[in-house]
């Protein structure tokens, strides 16, 4: 009689550590090993045709047998661009070099890295706990969302939001932080589009995984944003002025 596989047997993804993460961290300091051209291609298409990027994610799974990137170039370049954008804000609105250094470090650390780790961990836990399809029998290899892939999805979703809320917002900031209804309206619309696009890309990132179901869950926050925005506009809340006041209150 053939031996059977126990349903309680831990899968390979949980029974041994993933060697990819230490290698990923080591490559962060090795610029010559990063594919810079492909990273900029991804960034461009995340803003114009994000489904193409996740089509390439399928190819990556077929060739390297993992969903997550093994190249940290996206994180490194996104961090550098975020630092440059923050320096531009500090040059325009800050009052001291020491405070500008604090702003750059806090934006990189909290807005991108720690927020990304937190959101990726939440999505990773949620998808593995509630959104995975049930295996039809015990002989099917269990598939799970890789934590590093969840972080990739966050980074992909963050980049277009960065373009809208750090780059476009920078050039429009003299208008957006002014007093009056028009700045309130434009600021809320910009934040609404950025937040909605972030969650849409989150949906695309998890919808591409064939072993997940009910991934439309990641679209629900868009409805909350759309409902909340008119309330904030009618209430006179200006998100641009609010967030700029956190760091540059003396110049507004």
pLDDT at 65: 76
- Residue 14 within a domain: no
The two three-digit tokens of residue 59, written as one number: 């190819």
pLDDT by residue (tens digit) across 29-72? 666 778 899 999 999 999 999 999 999 888 777 777 788 888 88
Into how many domains does the chain fold? 1
| Helical segments of the chain, H only | 12-15, 20-27, 36-48, 50-64, 73-93, 97-106, 115-126, 147-162, 169-176, 181-207, 220-234, 239-248
Least Cα distance to 204 among 92, 90, 76, 58 occurs for: 58
- Residue 139 within a domain: no
- Residue 99 within a domain: yes
- Residue 50 within a domain: yes
- Residue 41 within a domain: yes
Residue 78 sits in which domain range?
A: 34-132+144-248
Relative orientation angle of helices 147-162 and 20-27, to the nearest 10 degrees: 40
- Residue 138 within a domain: no
Angstrom distance (rounded) from CA 184 to CA 182: 5
pLDDT at 24: 62
pLDDT at 252: 66
pLDDT at 94: 85
Q: pLDDT digit of tens for each residue in the chain (252 aa)? A: 444 444 444 443 443 445 565 666 666 666 677 889 999 999 999 999 999 999 988 877 777 778 888 888 999 999 999 999 999 999 999 878 899 999 999 999 998 999 999 999 999 999 999 999 876 555 556 789 999 999 999 999 999 999 999 999 999 999 999 999 999 999 999 999 999 999 999 999 999 999 999 999 999 999 999 999 999 999 999 999 999 999 887 566
Q: Which residues contact 100 (CB under 8 A, 6 or more apart)?
A: 87, 90, 91, 94
The two three-digit tokens of residue 4, written as one number: 């059977």
Q: Which residue has the tokens 């060697």?
A: 19
- Residue 39 within a domain: yes
pLDDT at 23: 64
pLDDT by residue (tens digit) across 109-124? 998 999 999 999 999 9
Q: Which residue has the tokens 């803003």?
A: 47
Angstrom distance (rounded) from CA 148 to CA 2: 37
Angstrom distance (rounded) from CA 62 to CA 100: 45
- Residue 164 within a domain: yes
The two three-digit tokens of residue 46, written as one number: 């995340």
The two three-digit tokens of residue 177, written as one number: 């932080």
Q: Which residues contact 211 (CB under 8 A, 6 or more apart)?
A: 132, 133, 143
């Amino acid at each position: 009689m053939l031996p059977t596989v126990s349903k309680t047997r831990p899968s390979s993804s949980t029974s041994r550590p993933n060697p990819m993460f230490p290698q990923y961290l080591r490559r962060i300091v090795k610029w010559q090993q990063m594919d810079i051209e492909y990273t900029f291609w991804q960034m461009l298409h995340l803003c114009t045709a994000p489904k193409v990027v996740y089509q390439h994610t399928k190819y990556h799974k077929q060739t390297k047998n993992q969903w997550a990137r093994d190249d940290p170039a996206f994180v490194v370049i996104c961090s550098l661009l975020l630092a440059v954008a923050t320096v531009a804000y500090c040059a325009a609105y800050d009052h001291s070099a020491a405070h500008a250094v604090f702003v750059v470090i806090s934006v990189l650390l909290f807005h991108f890295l720690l927020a990304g780790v937190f959101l990726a961990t939440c999505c990773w836990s949620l998808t593995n706990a509630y959104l995975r399809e049930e295996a039809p029998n015990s002989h099917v290899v269990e598939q799970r969302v890789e934590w590093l892939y969840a972080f990739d999805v966050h980074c992909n979703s963050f980049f277009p939001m960065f373009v809208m809320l750090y780059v476009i917002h920078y050039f429009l900031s003299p208008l957006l932080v002014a007093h009056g209804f028009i700045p309130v309206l434009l600021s809320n619309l910009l934040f609404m589009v950025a937040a909605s696009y972030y969650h849409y890309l989150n949906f695309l990132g998890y919808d591409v995984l064939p072993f997940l179901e009910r991934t439309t869950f990641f679209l629900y926050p868009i409805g909350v944003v759309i409902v909340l925005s008119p309330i904030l506009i009618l209430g006179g809340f200006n998100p641009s002025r609010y967030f700029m006041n956190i760091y540059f209150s003396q110049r507004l």
